[in-house]
């Protein structure tokens, strides 16, 4: 096993935060006055106008529930349409507003969250506006949770695709309430480590270095993590990648595992040196390396903790 010598360790419009604040009301009044004075008609805005609805409101726009479109005075139509065109599926909120949303999905309304589910692969054009009506017809989220797709289409006037997606999303909630975590296998003994990874690593013709992230009860978190792949006589085994993987998995402790393609499981001097570096790095990040297991062929394996406990002090 080889050691690694590494340290241990475009201008866009901004959306108003609130369309009813004085500055927004003033802008809206001014735009409505211009439209009334010149007799300009309202022009429908096409595309994904929902995310920029607050700006459209300040432009003097209004929402037509019959056609489910925003309409703005003609003198603001070009600017409004250009803004709506920017908010496509490939453009993020950060690109449109100049800043990323801070509150996350939890700050969105029930209708807006449902729009994320019901829109599927289609742009969320006016989807939330429609789903506000659906929630009113269905007597809110609790009624929605128990509705079948047929009821969503009949009472909520959802399309078949919307009804299927909403029903699937609500069913996930019921499944989560019944679900339990899968049983985590114990990795207290090197025999258990070999039982898990021996059949996988013993036949390999190249060397690999793995990390087993463990919870406080020495049970495996998720799946074993491959840190590096090498050749027939070694692989890179630096602490940076090893503990990055362990920390990402939420490990309290961890075990290093690598194989010897030669079939001989006897630890080399390099294996011992790597172990010492990992133990030291683990103390720094407060994730204890509890063992380093070397896997050979024919059912052979060696635990460095069992062979040389002093490496782990």
Q: What are the domain boundaries of the chain?
A: 22-86, 109-178, 190-312
For the full predicted model, state whether its pTM sits above 0.85: no
What's residue 185's pLDDT? Answer: 93
What's residue 93's pLDDT? Answer: 43
Which has the minimum average pLDDT: 1-15, 118-132, 206-220, 287-301? 1-15
What's residue 257's pLDDT? Answer: 97
- What is the mean pLDDT of the segment spanning 185-206? 95
What's residue 213's pLDDT? Answer: 97
- What is the mean pLDDT of the segment spanning 24-48? 84
Q: Report which of residues 73 and 138 the model is more confident about.
A: 73
Whether the per-residue pLDDT at 126 is higher than 60: the answer is no
Q: How many CB atoms lie within 10 A of CB 24?
A: 17
- What is the mean pLDDT of the segment spanning 184-201? 95
Mind listing the pLDDT tens digit for each residue in 103-125? Answer: 456 666 777 777 777 665 444 44
| Residues 6 or more apart in contact with residue 269 via CB below 8 angstroms | none
Q: What are phi and psi of 208, to 5 degrees?
A: -130, 150
- What is the mean pLDDT of the segment spanning 1-30? 58
| Residues 6 or more apart in contact with residue 290 via CB below 8 angstroms | 214, 218, 253, 254, 255, 305, 312
Write 144-153 long-range contacts (CB < 8 A, 24+).
Answer: 144/114, 144/170, 145/170, 145/173, 145/174
Whether the per-residue pLDDT at 55 is higher than 90: the answer is no
Whether the per-residue pLDDT at 242 is higher than 90: the answer is yes
Per-residue confidence band for 9, with pLDDT thresholds at 50, 70 and 90: very low
Mean pLDDT across the chain = 81
CATH architecture of 190-312: 3-Layer(aba) Sandwich (3.40)
Pairing of strands 253-259, 288-295: parallel
What's residue 225's pLDDT? Answer: 94
Q: Report which of residues 238 and 258 the model is more confident about.
A: 258
Per-residue confidence band for 200, with pLDDT thresholds at 50, 70 and 90: very high
**Residue 203 to residues 13, 198, 260, 263, 301, Cα–Cα distance (Å):** 59, 9, 10, 9, 13
Q: Report which of residues 189 and 67 the model is more confident about.
A: 189
Residue 184 is given by DSSP the state P
- What is the mean pLDDT of the segment spanning 75-97? 66
């Amino acid at each position: 096993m080889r050691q690694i010598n590494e340290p241990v360790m475009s201008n866009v419009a901004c959306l108003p935060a609130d369309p009813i604040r004085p500055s927004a009301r003033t802008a809206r009044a001014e735009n409505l006055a211009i439209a009334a004075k010149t007799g300009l008609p309202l022009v429908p805005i096409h595309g994904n106008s929902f995310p920029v609805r607050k700006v459209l409101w300040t432009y003097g726009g209004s929402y037509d529930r019959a056609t489910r479109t925003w309409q703005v005075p003609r003198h603001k139509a070009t600017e409004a349409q250009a803004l709506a065109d920017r908010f496509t599926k490939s453009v993020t909120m950060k690109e449109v507003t100049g800043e990323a949303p801070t509150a996350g999905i939890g700050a969105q309304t029930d209708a807006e969250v449902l729009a994320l589910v019901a829109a599927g692969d289609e742009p969320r054009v006016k989807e939330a506006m429609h789903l506000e009506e659906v929630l009113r017809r269905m007597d809110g989220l609790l009624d929605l949770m128990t509705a079948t797709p047929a009821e969503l289409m009949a009472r909520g006037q959802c399309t078949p695709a919307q009804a299927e997606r909403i029903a699937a999303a609500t069913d996930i909630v019921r499944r989560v309430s019944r679900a339990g975590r899968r049983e985590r296998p114990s990795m207290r003994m090197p025999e258990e480590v070999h039982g898990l990874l021996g059949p996988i690593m013993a036949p390999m013709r190249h060397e690999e270095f793995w990390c087993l992230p463990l919870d406080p009860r020495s049970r495996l978190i998720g799946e074993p993590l491959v840190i590096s792949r090498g050749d027939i006589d070694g692989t890179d085994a630096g602490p940076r990648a090893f503990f990055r993987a362990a920390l990402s998995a939420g490990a309290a402790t961890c075990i290093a595992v690598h194989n010897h393609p030669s079939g001989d499981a006897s630890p080399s001097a390099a294996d011992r040196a790597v172990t010492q570096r990992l133990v030291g790095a683990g103390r720094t990040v407060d994730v204890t390396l509890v063992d380093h297991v070397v896997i050979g062929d024919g059912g052979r394996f060696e635990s460095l903790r069992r062979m040389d406990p002093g490496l782990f002090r």
